Amino acid sequence: MAEDPYQVLGVARDASPEAIKAAYRKLARKHHPDLNPGKPEAEARFKAVSTAHDLISDPERRARFDRGEIDAQGQEQAPAGTYRRHAEQPQGARYGQRPDAEMFDDLFSDIFRARQRAENAPARGADESYRLAVPFLHAVQGATEQLTLPDGRVLSVKIPPGISSGQVLRLRGQGGAGRRSGPAGDALIEVDVAGDPRWRREGHDLHMTLPVSLKEAVLGGPVLVPTPSGPLRVTLPAGSDTGRQIRLRGKGIAAHGERAAGDLFLTLSVVLGASDPALEAFLRTWEPAEPSNPRAGTEEVT
Amino acid sequence: MITIEVLCARFATLRADDLLRWIAEGHVRPDRAADDLVFTEIDVERVRLILDLRDVMLVNEEALPVVLSLLDQLYELRRRLREMGVEPDATR
């Protein structure tokens, strides 16, 4: 069982933190083992003093000790007074009487100068990383996004068309400030492109399913197709069945630099809609001119 | 190998410019390998002692050489006694 830390330090139980610190300094000066190599009892004393100080210099632990939640043992602290163990051995001769006061400065002067130079040399600022959420259409068409930094600066980030999630844009000189007139670092902006329920990206092309009515599918005709650049009137050929693909050239990801624009692929999907008595009546009497089985080739399961 | 960076990382309160000044004054005496300072365990403990003197015992920079010089003489004496076959603490 360790001694009462207040007794060890010789302070009252309601001593102020300053009084505790002062008592600790006084005892440390007296008992530090490296200052008392011939007195093994100094080491034990100093250890007790340090343990007591560790415990009651921390307000939280002091309160817990006062409430009886923890005992006076405290935790093992960093070893103090281990210099002594080296100095007592032959290797202690390293710190024998100094031969010449100027010697050490001369001995390492070139290293000191080199470090000094390195510390005074201009240093580039650090790169700083940010994330930026980009709406689907902005990634398709290209856009300029505003990114507000934690320090209040607002960066204009040019989003090139065709960018995808995980790509990193580098804004030169927009990162951390350089030191001693060194250049600023870069801002590295990782983009996160949102999805869109209407379109699916495949490389630089877009795919979408276009619902068409039975009448549009059978007779063909103009339909309005939503494209990233706005609604587009497309004329369906007659007899456009479910699954038929229509390519709209250049209506995918916008062109960028040397790269041409991607295409938009429509995949038709016939939708019957609400039941219609007239249609039902017609179909009951309708005999196809060329009967066909849409399930031909699927009867046999092998 | 203990470099100046390793040493500074080991002690939260140690700053490189303080350490370099102590080296220039001869309070800490590392070896050198090419263009780098190399520290041994005794240097690490010496730094710990100097930090104790400064931060705990409030020995200021002007008094530091006095304290270290007295300590160095004390340990020098004790090593010499041991070389002569005398255990310093045995005769008390």
Residue A110 scores a pLDDT above 80: yes
Number of domains in chain B: 1
Q: What percent of chain A has pLDDT over 70?
A: 93
Cα B27 to Cα A108: distance, rounded to the nearest angstrom: 13
Q: Looking at residue B42, which CATH number applies to its domain? A: 1.10.1660.10
Q: Tell me the average pLDDT of chain A.
A: 87
Residue type, A186: D
Residue A300 scores a pLDDT above 80: no
DSSP secondary structure string, A171-208? ETT-SSPPBTTPPP--EEEEEEEPP-SS-EEETTEEEE
Residue B92 counted as domain residue: no
Residue A25 scores a pLDDT above 70: yes
Chain B residue closest in CA terms to A83: B45
| Mean pLDDT value of segment A84-91 | 87
Residue B45 counted as domain residue: yes
Note the CATH number of domain A200-285.
2.60.260.20
Cα A42 to Cα A84: distance, rounded to the nearest angstrom: 12
Residue B88 counted as domain residue: no
Residue A1 scores a pLDDT above 50: no
pLDDT at A115: 81
Tokens 């000044």, located at residue: B21
Q: Which residues pair with A131 in a beta bridge?
A: A190
Tell me which of B11, B42, B51 to substitute to probe the interface with A (most A C-beta atoms closer than 10 Å).
Answer: B42
Chain A residue closest in CA terms to B32: A108
DSSP secondary structure string, B14-74? --HHHHHHHHHHTSS--EEETTEEEB-HHHHHHHHHHHIIIIIS---TTTHHHHHHHHHHH
Query: Has domain A5-95 been given CATH number 1.10.287.110?
Result: yes
Alpha-carbon dihedral B3, B7, B9, B10, rounded to 10 degrees = 140
Q: Which residues pair with A230 in a beta bridge?
A: A227
Task: For residue A268, give the 3-state DSSP assignment.
Answer: strand
Containing structural domain, residue B57: 4-83
Chain A residue closest in CA terms to B19: A112
**Per-residue pLDDT band at A44 (split at 50, 70, 90):** confident
pLDDT at A238: 93
Name the E strands within A99-229: 128-134, 143-148, 154-159, 168-171, 187-193, 200-202, 205-213, 221-227
Tally A–B CB contacts below 8 A.
Answer: 99
pLDDT at A100: 66
Within a 13 Å sphere around the CA of B91, how many CA atoms are in the beta-carbon half? 7
Distance from the Cα of residue A20 to its chain's centroid: 44
Chain B residue closest in CA terms to A103: B26
Domain ranges of chain A: 5-95, 128-193, 200-285
Tell me which of B49, B60, B86 to substitute to probe the interface with A (most A C-beta atoms closer than 10 Å).
Answer: B49
Tell me which of B10, B31, B52 to substitute to probe the interface with A (most A C-beta atoms closer than 10 Å).
Answer: B52
pTM as predicted: 0.50
Contact of A70 with A2, CB cutoff 8 Å: no
Residue B91 scores a pLDDT above 70: no
Q: Which residues of B touch A29 (CB under 8 A)?
A: 57
**Per-residue pLDDT band at A252 (split at 50, 70, 90):** very high
Q: How many CB atoms lie within 10 A of CB A197?
A: 7
CATH of A128-193, one of 1.10.620.20, 3.40.30.10, 2.60.260.20, 1.10.10.10: 2.60.260.20
Q: Is B57 on the interface with A (CB under 8 A)?
A: yes
Residue B48 counted as domain residue: yes
Residues with Cβ < 8 Å from A221, sequence gap 6 or more?
Answer: A235, A236
pLDDT at B92: 52
Q: What is the pLDDT of residues A270-286, one digit of tens each?
A: 999 898 999 999 999 99
What is this model's ipTM? 0.81
